[in-house]
Amino acid sequence: MISTVQELEEAVRRLSPDEQAAFCAWYAQYDAEQWDRQFEADVAAGRLERLELEARRDQETGPRTDR
């Protein structure tokens, strides 16, 4: 069993090019799903409300230039 990042890196290096491509495709999908879950959790927790308010204000009045 792989238990460290270093072991994972070594295992990936030993993969054939086709296996590396399959791993990369799998990891890209996995990473996107993780990002989506975190984003949804942030939205549910209200962590993005300030950004939403700023975006709505910018839409109505134009972007601020003092950032």
The model's pLDDT over 27-37, given as tens digits with 9 standing for 90+, comes to 999 999 999 99
Q: What is the 3-state secondary structure (H, E, C) of the chain?
A: CCCCHHHHHHHHHHCCHHHHHHHHHHHHHHHHHHHHHHHHHHHHCCCCHHHHHHHHHHHHHCCCCCC
The model's pLDDT over 4-62, given as tens digits with 9 standing for 90+, comes to 999 999 999 999 999 999 999 999 999 999 999 999 999 999 988 988 888 888 888 87
User: What is the three-class DSSP state of 45?
Assistant: coil
For residue 6, which amino acid is it? Q
Q: Please tell me the pTM assigned to this model.
A: 0.66
